[in-house]
Structure 1
Amino acid sequence: MAELTTDRITTVQRDGLVLDVHDEGPIDGEVVVLLHGFPERADCWRLVAPLLHEAGYRTLAMDQRGYSPRARPRRRRDYRMTELLGDVRALAEAAGGRVHVVGHDWGAIPAWLLAMHHPDLVASLTAVSVPHPQAFLTSMVRSTQGLKSWYMLAFQVPFLPERLARTPGGLLDKQLRAAGMTADDVVRFRAEIVDDGALTTALHWYRALPLADPRLTRHKVTVPTTMVWSDDDIALGRWGVERTAHLVEAPYRFVELAGVSHWIPTQAPDALAEAIIDRARSTAS
């Protein structure tokens, strides 16, 4: 294992792409990698990160592929899970490895994959909203998850979501509000994703799903893991979350947040930070 770097990490470069990183908190603290989902960027952790800093942790929040301005390849195949995993692996290696990894929404997928395929780089995993990928895939046919995930199919249609996003207050904005996003965060979405030209490349995370190798997710996790889920999440149901425990062969905890929507990092930052810190401290020697 490489030693923890004491230089601030502002970017990660991989295959000609430059991913922006927000490196904050005590420089000598244990590293917590924070991975955002759709349709947000690294600043979705703005309320969680200071709480982690107060507890002595250093945070690396990365604007992921498709979101960072210098990391927006146009082909959907550049957003396959192997590429998403490679980016997060590069960040963990740049930090010296043995990092605590936290992922919300789509960010949970590369977090799960890193824990599956590179457990030597992961001290602990906190998955937020999205269960183990294999549990999620099974839930699509064994529960109502397929109905909840209707938008994943809609996002496959070229140009349609982009067209729906053109008008402020239009259908896409209304769908985000219906999912529990605040009016201020919808404004942030328009500024950071739509106006900044990141919508199409952010949607490529969904559009690359038909190109995914299903064998990539058929592994159990062997690092200490916490699953955080909220019962007002209209996008992710309980079925897959409850079966995630069977796919973790390590200390495991399930944290359910009552009355919280899908947007846990901005709507329940204290509870989420507590879950992350508890999991990280549980791994201390």
Structure 2
Amino acid sequence: MTPQRISTFTRDGLTFEVSDTGPLDGQTVVLLHGFPANRHSFDEVVPILNAAGFRTLAPNQRGYSDGARPHRSRDYRAVELQRDVLALVDVAGVDRVHLVGHDWGGVLAWQLGAVAPERLTGLTVLSTPHPSAMIRSLVASAQALRSFYVLVFQLPMLPELLLRKKVEPLLRRMGLNADAAAEYGRFMSKHGRLTGGLHWYRALWLPDRRTSRRRLVTVPTTYLWGNGDQTLGRRAAELSGSYVRAEYRFIEVDENHWLPENAPRVVAAAILDDLRLP
């Protein structure tokens, strides 16, 4: 494969926006945002990685890119999200990438570490525990109470009505810095974007025969968890390592859920440590 600079990529008629920066011949890092963020969640992390000689690809994911927003929640099932990332890697002209994910992007990173290890050199997962660890924690801790909002998000239209014009103040109350909260509030105010992001939650329980049953991650993995996270508790975080069959590091950070935005230097340092491992 020959690396090539991109600003968009297309899969199955959907067009995704991408920020592609850093040396074209450098090792490639793909950065996956979560809800209700966008590719700019890594804006303070990317320059540090680029200065160290690494290429970075930060896409607006399915539902967040204006050209990639299917109307049906079934189009947001895990296998579609995984294939979006692999299509990005192919279009960028690289064989393997280091994958970084936060929040829902972290869920996707854990999944790809299990189902597509041949396309990855490693993972750095931020905030979000391994999906199987999350399920276990629901009956072994207070995680079910922390995750009650996920059930609310399953409802049609009501979450959009509740969150409309309230994204920015809600994020600020959750500890996100003011600049990032304002950016996400503006971003989500455009018609369709909030529904696109919520469809990730609504597709969570939908059956899909195409989904791989592989759960064990087989690439080197670092997991950063903020001990002030209001939505993701310690039990799931500590269980996550049991689903990795490769070199694994768990790093506890004195921060809340918003690691890329609130602690970019800590995040960048962890990624660089992963990239420099032999």
TM-score in terms of structure 2 length: 0.94
CA–CA separation in structure 2 for the residues paired with 1:191 and 1:175: 13
Q: Specify the alignment match of 2:24 in structure 1.
A: 27
Q: Specify the alignment match of 2:190 in structure 1.
A: 195
In structure 2, stretches of 5+ residues that fail to align are: none
What is the identity percentage for the equivalent residue pairs of Structure 1 and Structure 2?
Answer: 48
User: 1:213 offset after TM fit, Å?
Assistant: 4.8
Q: Specify the alignment match of 1:38 in structure 2.
A: 35
CA–CA separation in structure 1 for the residues paired with 2:248 and 2:129: 13
Q: 1:268 aligns with which of 258, 263, 271?
A: 263
User: 1:195 offset after TM fit, Å?
Assistant: 2.5
**Paired letter, 1:155:** F
CA–CA separation in structure 2 for the residues paired with 1:148 and 1:216: 28
Task: Say whether residues 1:7 and 2:7 are aligned partners.
Answer: no
CA offsets 1:31-66 (integer angstroms, 9 cap, x no match): 000000000000111000001011111000010000
Q: 1:240 aligns with which of 236, 240, 243?
A: 236
SS at match of 2:237: helix
**Paired letter, 1:256:** E
In structure 1, stretches of 5+ residues that fail to align are: none
**Paired letter, 2:185:** R
CA–CA separation in structure 2 for the residues paired with 1:211 and 1:254: 31
Q: Specify the alignment match of 1:249 in structure 2.
A: 245
Q: Specify the alignment match of 2:133 in structure 1.
A: 135
Q: 1:57 aligns with which of 54, 59, 84?
A: 54
CA–CA separation in structure 1 for the residues paired with 2:107 and 2:230: 18
**Paired letter, 1:45:** F
CA offsets 1:251-274 (integer angstroms, 9 cap, x no match): 11011111x111100100001001
**1:150-161 equivalence runs, <5 A:** 150-161=148-159
- Mean CA deviation greater in 157-166 or 243-252: 157-166
Q: Specify the alignment match of 1:181 in structure 2.
A: 176
CA–CA separation in structure 1 for the residues paired with 2:179 and 2:261: 11
- Mean CA deviation greater in 11-20 or 182-191: 182-191
CA offsets 1:124-170 (integer angstroms, 9 cap, x no match): 10111011111111112221111111111111111112112333xx4
CA–CA separation in structure 2 for the residues paired with 1:123 and 1:233: 28
Cα 1:217–1:174 shift into 2, 3 Å: farther
Task: Say whether residues 1:94 and 2:91 are aligned partners.
Answer: yes
CA offsets 1:229-277 (integer angstroms, 9 cap, x no match): 111110111111111111111111011111x111100100001001011
Aligned residues: 276
